[in-house]
Amino acid sequence: MIGRKSKMSLLNKRTLYTMCIRPVMTYACPVFAHAAPIALQDLQVIQNKFCRRATGAQWYVKNSVLHRDLELPTLSKFMKDASERFFSIAINHTNPLISAAASYEAPPENHFLRRPRNALSDLPDDLTAEVEELNKALENLME
């Protein structure tokens, strides 16, 4: 259905991915978004393969260009945004136990403990930074 010979439009392929495939890959992402970047790399590879197959792009087209053209954030950015939404909702929840669990003081930077909320302060990975850089360059060209 998402191959380059498919008669489905690119918009429908993207919708199929964002509605059916990505939710399965990012289920409970506020919990595991703080995992080591190498552990999340396998999920990013799946998204990169989708982008390449859906567009029929050749091997020399950068993944960052595909993400920009399809208007898909990288998985690390998507997970970070989902975590921000989750924690902002949890902090303002009416149940005091839920709001207490979501609000806590972050450990010092040199501390070895990684908690789910720490993913919000992590620096973006290389692909995310490259996509954001391309988006800024495109915005500057449009002005």
Arithmetic mean of pLDDT over the chain:
83
Burial of 95 (0-12, 13-18, 19+ CB in 10 A): exposed
Whether 52 is covered by a domain: the verdict is yes
- At residue 28, the pLDDT reads 87
Q: How many percent of the chain have pLDDT more than 70?
A: 86
Q: What is the mean pLDDT of residues 9-37?
A: 88
Q: What is the mean pLDDT of residues 127-132?
A: 81
- At residue 67, the pLDDT reads 93
Domains identified in the chain, total number? 1
Whether 15 is covered by a domain: the verdict is yes
At 75-94, the pLDDT tens digits run 988 988 888 888 888 888 89
Q: Is the pLDDT of residue 128 over 60?
A: yes
Whether 70 is covered by a domain: the verdict is yes
Candidates 65, 88, 74, 75; CA nearest to 138 is: 65
Domain that holds residue 51: 10-105+115-142
Q: Is the pLDDT of residue 116 over 80?
A: no
Q: Is the pLDDT of residue 113 over 60?
A: no
Residue 72 near residue 121, CB atoms below 8 Å: no
DSSP letter (8 states) at residue 14: H
Whether 136 is covered by a domain: the verdict is yes
Distance separating alpha carbons of residues 63 and 66, to the nearest angstrom: 5
